[in-house]
Amino acid sequence: MTIHIRSDQEQTIEAAMQAGLITNPEDALDAGLESLRNRLVQRPKGKKSLVELFAPLRGLDPDFSRNPSTGRPIDR
């Protein structure tokens, strides 16, 4: 199989090699194929991943501590 790549793709592969992310062009292909394999494993329709579920909260600092109050007092 012969694969032709664009010049921008070649530049990205070279930059990744210089940064030490990959050691050769085949590593870039392996990473891309792994990404495709992960995308082929589909979730049921309407189901979100945890990342998608909590994406609207990104950047917020929600307080998940427990409220020590046990509610209103009950007179007996």
52, part of any domain: no
Asked whether residue 36 is assigned to any structural domain, the reply reads yes
| Tokens read off for 2 | 């012969």
Range of the domain at 29: 9-41
This prediction has a pTM of: 0.50
Report the number of distinct structural domains present in the chain. Answer: 1
34: left (phi over 0), alpha (psi -120 to 50) or beta: alpha
Is 62 inside a domain boundary?
A: no
Sequential pLDDT tens for the chain (76 residues): 888 999 999 999 999 999 999 999 999 999 999 888 888 776 667 777 788 888 887 777 777 777 777 777 777 6
Compute how many other C-beta atoms are within 10 angstroms of the C-beta atom of residue 2: 3
